[in-house]
Copies of this chain bind each other. A is one copy, B any other.
Amino acid sequence: MTDQLLQAVTAGLHVIDLGRQLRVGMPQSPNHPQFWHTLPRRHGDMTRADGASAANDMITMGTHVGTHIDALSHVSQDGVLHGGEDAAEAGIGGKYVELGVHTVQPMLRRGVLLDIPASRGVSRLEGGDEVTVEDLERAEASQDTVVSTGDVVLIRSGWGQLFAEGAAYIGAQTGVPGVSEAGASWLAERGVHAAGADTIAFERLAPQGGHSLLPAHRVLLVEHGIYIIEALDLEELSDRGVHEFTFVLVPMNIFGATGSPVRPLAVTSA
């Protein structure tokens, strides 16, 4: 066995799951079709002559539900998608052929956690708090994890602690912490491959402001072709102090879609 990767894998790994479990009733944006899971067939419904039985499922959901990734087809600005394609034209036929999520390659890349509340010395940011460029650089420095070209950068606000509370996590009244245009531009300057957060919308949302303005989406998806990952669970990474890792993300290969539910992993050698 001489394959370097396989050697590392078989030597032992530690895997931290960054995805939220998909459960009926979990918090999600009301703009997207709700996650539902049901068992059309259960054991006991139909047993074969030889005593075997198979149970099965049906799921229905939006693709921007649970932990998920935005493809470049998700957002347009002034009528164009990343690269200049006419956004309305791109959707004719009912599939985003050029920039759909089927064009997002599986990721096995360097991942960096920027733990903002840890570097600020708080347990989590408040609703409406902006993660500023100073926050990003302070975290980078205090952790000694410099963000490099091609990395996947995960920005922790601590807001993920509210996931189990449902409405509080959505934060319609309180707003939600996150980067805004300046932070997004900083990420783009660093040449990251993808950026993620532990909130539904990635962006800083003002209290009672809803999703009316999403400048980080414009900067990242439209202007720079950088994927966005939302609703990550970054608490275990923070608890363990893991700031650098192999980031694994495999989107569903849905032809023409604007995003995909994902279950990203942070993996390190044991």
Q: Which residues of A line the B interface, CB within 8 A? A: 1, 3-11, 13, 15, 17, 19-25, 30-34, 36-64, 73-79, 81, 87-88, 90-96, 102, 105-106, 108-110, 212-214, 217-218, 244-246, 248, 250-259, 261, 263, 265, 267-269
List 12 A–B pairs whose Cβ atoms lie within 8 Å, in order of A's numbering: A5-B9, A7-B8, A15-B106, A15-B108, A20-B253, A42-B88, A43-B87, A56-B258, A58-B58, A106-B263, A106-B265, A252-B263
A251 to chain B, nearest CB (A): 7
* A30 cross-chain contacts in B, Cβ below 8 A: 25
Residue of B nearest to A60 (CB): B60
Asked if A62 and B51 sit within 8 Å, CB to CB, the answer is no
Asked if A58 and B43 sit within 8 Å, CB to CB, the answer is no
* A90 cross-chain contacts in B, Cβ below 8 A: 43
* A268 cross-chain contacts in B, Cβ below 8 A: 3, 5-6
Asked if A34 and B36 sit within 8 Å, CB to CB, the answer is yes
Residue of B nearest to A263 (CB): B250
A40 to chain B, nearest CB (A): 4
* A212 cross-chain contacts in B, Cβ below 8 A: 48-49
Q: A96-B55, A213-B50 are in contact. Are A250 and B252 (CB under 8 A)?
A: no
Asked if A8 and B10 sit within 8 Å, CB to CB, the answer is no
* A108 cross-chain contacts in B, Cβ below 8 A: 9, 13, 15, 248, 267
Q: Select A87's contact among B1, B25, B53, beta carbons within 8 Å.
A: B53
A234 to chain B, nearest CB (A): 16
A170 to chain B, nearest CB (A): 14
* A42 cross-chain contacts in B, Cβ below 8 A: 88, 91, 94
Asked if B48 and A40 sit within 8 Å, CB to CB, the answer is no
